[in-house]
Chains A and B, each alone.
Chain A
Amino acid sequence: MDFALSDEHRMLQDTLRGLLARHQGDDLWPALAEAGVIGALLTEDEGGFDGSGSAIALTFEELGRAGASMPLVAAMIGASALATAGQGDLAAEVAEGSARVAFADAEPGTRYDRGVAISVDGDRLTGRKTMVAGAEDARAIIVTTADALWLVDAKAEGLTLNAYPLMEGGRGADLTFADTPATRLGALDDFGAALSRGILGHSAFALGGIIAASDLTLDYLKTRKQFGRAILEFQALAHRIADLAVEVEQARSAVTNLSGHLTAEPAIRDRHVQACKATVGRVARLVAEESVQLHGGIGMTEEYALAGMIRRLLAADTAMGDADYHLERFANGEPAWA
């Protein structure tokens, strides 16, 4: 067995680290596109050149470590789903970064059901989606309903966009559909490969944040002095940072498991989708809460780097089903996408 990165992936990692050190916010997307990072998340059939679990995991882990906020998961799901549904032209534009798509999944009034707030009548959608990352910049929206995936033009009639900041740092929107024309891409479970990659993206992004928050916390415990010594010397705190270190490895292995089974047969892949999101979501929440507590008051202040990390960790757990959602489906032996 060899868990090390290939030479190509080490180069991709170096490229990403360089880009993330130099670019932030709105500048980041064009820089990533130009460097071919979006293509690395997609297979050749989808307009990219890699699309392996390993490339996806390392890319999102780096984004998570750097705290970059951008709807790259949507680009990956979107291009993959569009290619699968025979919309190759738009997929290629997304892959090269000249077009952006958003992924509208969450709905108001429900804990992760699909089709509660939105309904289908022929080729038209009516209802609402919420917390749609990057909707303002999207040319088209990929929309989930109870059992299908749809493509909606951002300028379609009857589509209203109401934008606001997301707690992970970027902007999102509520999308209200009023008899809005849409193109059915196919049944939800036809897109298991694309959606499972979304789970890997969110999980690896969370892993990067988990590592960044635990590292920051360890540094703080080493330097913060109370009662005349570094607080890391208090055993009660030292054991808790040790427990976090153990859980960080669990999260890493859960991401590795999904990354290594991304192209396995759906029944096996889905077990890893659920196990990965359940593990990483649990660890993300644990690290978020423990990092704040181990810091004390300073860990709650906006000026300190931890605040943004905490919000991104919670957001990554929350997106596309949290730990409990995937735990329940795993326990029931249900497929991930149906």
Chain B
Amino acid sequence: MDMRFTPDELAFAAEVREFLASELDPALAEKNRLHQSLTKAEMEGWHAKLHAKGWLAGNWPREFGGAGWTAIQRHIFEEESAKAHAPRIVPFGIAMLGPVLQKFGSKEQQDYWLPRILNGDDWWCQGYSEPGAGSDLAGLRCRAERQGDHYVVNGQKTWTTLGQHANMIFCLVRTSTEGKKQEGISFLLIDMDTPGVTVRPIVLLDGTAEVNEVFFDDVKVPVENLVGEENKGWTYAKYLLTHERTNIAGVGFATAALDNLKRVAKAQIHRGKPLDQDPLFAAQIATTEIELMAMSTTNLRMLSVAAQGQAPGVESSMLKIKGTQIRQQLDALTRRAYGGWAQALPMETGNQGQPLDADDVLSATANYLNNRKLSIYGGSNEIQRGIIAGTLAKG
């Protein structure tokens, strides 16, 4: 056993830190640290810097213009980026659609769409969930009917993250109601500017509007925008979800959140002393830090298996559960560290007033509320437990 990174990996980590130090605008990092919504231009600007360096698509093979990183390199990049409060790479084109097109798309689709993802010509969003199809994703009903050289799409998608910025959406649509529900699903690429597409924002309980509903009313989609074969979309969808679940442990985000919590606990006064000297509160921070230490190594153990070419299975479900529990606990402790000060939320719009000198407090409160989503999205933690138990039962 050797728990150390190799000299090459250490050199790579140093290169990532150097890049972040020189290219990441401190004002953008600060905005990101406070979990404030970034503008489309800010996110695109960061993508462009990474693309110029050849680092935008660390997960893609070199033949498609990716960096061809190992799982360990990707982990190092994500962890260093999170610690530096760099914007996270918007995952829909790079992490989700890219791998699907590379594995199942036609040559024409690969040649056309993949460079556009890297260049920032398209902003993709994900059309998976529907009001009636959440955990039961295969129960989706958004319909696509073949009419000559195009499909006509009718139905609704929801929880479409950053869909307000997108010009393209990849959708799971129902093309057949015969047989098992998984067997009548197809994977379609839809231009959001097509007549009949409507995007409506969903405001969340922390006041942010990062998710949307997307409605399709007789939307015409050229048949060449079908990925792979008709009615085989479920296979592609599942393949995409395994990519959605890379970096699922969120070690970098948790490490950044722990650093922030410790900073807050040092500054907040409790019984006349810094809060981090309070045995009750310090024990709660320590408990979470110890959990994170173990989970980081679980993550690395699993990454090193993945680096040897073995597909991760049930492990990503375990990392999803433990990773989200740790991040939510860190967020809860950070909010509570502020005590009676944490009773307001940031107002991104309107002129209703803000508490004085309280950006960090408002951010902690909003972030605690917003990150309740972590245990819901990407397959809720209950779904993950079902996957783990099902796998254990078979073994």
Contact B159 A297 (CB under 8 A): yes
Name the A residues within 8 Å of B211 (CB-CB): 297
In angstroms, Cα B129 to Cα A325, docked, is 41
What's the least CB distance linking A100 to chain B, in Å? Answer: 19
Flag B130-146 by CB within 8 Å of A: 1 or 0 each: 00101110010000000
Cross-interface CB contact of B129 among A234, A297, A315, cutoff 8 Å:
A297
Contact B134 A165 (CB under 8 A): no
Contact B202 A301 (CB under 8 A): yes
Name the A residues within 8 Å of B376 (CB-CB): 292-293, 296-297, 300
What's the least CB distance linking A235 to chain B, in Å? Answer: 11
Flag A321-336 by CB within 8 Å of B: 1 or 0 each: 1101101100000000
What's the least CB distance linking B374 to chain A, in Å? Answer: 10
Would you call A24 an interface residue if the criterion is a C-beta within 8 Å of the partner chain's C-beta atoms?
A: no
Q: Chain B: which residue is nearest A320 at the CB level?
A: B340
Cross-interface CB contact of B269 among A109, A292, A302, cutoff 8 Å:
A109
Contact B339 A292 (CB under 8 A): no
Contact B203 A303 (CB under 8 A): yes
Given the interface contacts A164-B352, A165-B352, A303-B203, does A112 sit within 8 Å of B344 by beta carbon? no
Report the count of interface residues on A (CB-CB < 8 A): 53
Would you call B373 an interface residue if the criterion is a C-beta within 8 Å of the partner chain's C-beta atoms?
A: yes
Name the A residues within 8 Å of B372 (CB-CB): 289, 292-293, 300
Q: Chain A: which residue is nearest B129 at the CB level?
A: A297
What's the least CB distance linking B176 to chain A, in Å? Answer: 18
Given the interface contacts A106-B343, A166-B344, A167-B345, does A174 sit within 8 Å of B356 by beta carbon? yes
Cross-interface CB contact of A236 among B272, B332, B365, B382, cutoff 8 Å:
B382
Would you call A33 an interface residue if the criterion is a C-beta within 8 Å of the partner chain's C-beta atoms?
A: no
Contact B129 A324 (CB under 8 A): no
Contact A131 B343 (CB under 8 A): yes
Given the interface contacts A110-B339, A236-B385, A296-B380, does A301 sit within 8 Å of B355 by beta carbon? no
In angstroms, Cα B345 to Cα A286, docked, is 20
Given the interface contacts A227-B139, A297-B376, does A302 sit within 8 Å of B204 by beta carbon? yes
Contact B352 A130 (CB under 8 A): no
Flag A100-144 by CB within 8 Å of B: 1 or 0 each: 000001111111110010000000000010110000000000000
Which of B268, B339, B344, B355 lies at the interface centre, i.e. has the most chain A CB atoms within 10 A of its CB? B339
Name the B residues within 8 Å of A128 (CB-CB): 356
Name the B residues within 8 Å of A270 (CB-CB): none
What's the least CB distance linking A17 to chain B, in Å? Answer: 26
Would you call B286 an interface residue if the criterion is a C-beta within 8 Å of the partner chain's C-beta atoms?
A: no
Would you call B354 an interface residue if the criterion is a C-beta within 8 Å of the partner chain's C-beta atoms?
A: yes
Would you call B294 an interface residue if the criterion is a C-beta within 8 Å of the partner chain's C-beta atoms?
A: no
Given the interface contacts A165-B353, A327-B280, does A113 sit within 8 Å of B382 by beta carbon? no
Would you call B270 an interface residue if the criterion is a C-beta within 8 Å of the partner chain's C-beta atoms?
A: yes
26 residue pairs of the A-B complex, CB under 8 angstroms, read: A110-B270, A111-B269, A111-B270, A113-B270, A113-B271, A130-B340, A131-B344, A131-B355, A163-B353, A164-B354, A172-B343, A227-B136, A236-B382, A292-B376, A293-B375, A296-B135, A297-B158, A297-B376, A301-B203, A302-B202, A302-B203, A302-B204, A311-B369, A318-B340, A321-B340, A327-B280
Residues in A lying within 8 Å of B, measured CB to CB? 105-113, 116, 128, 130-131, 162-168, 172, 174, 176, 225-227, 234, 236-237, 285, 289, 292-293, 296-297, 300-303, 306-307, 310-311, 315, 318-322, 324-325, 327-328
5 smallest beta-carbon distances between A and B, as pairs: A106-B340, A164-B353, A111-B339, A307-B205, A226-B136
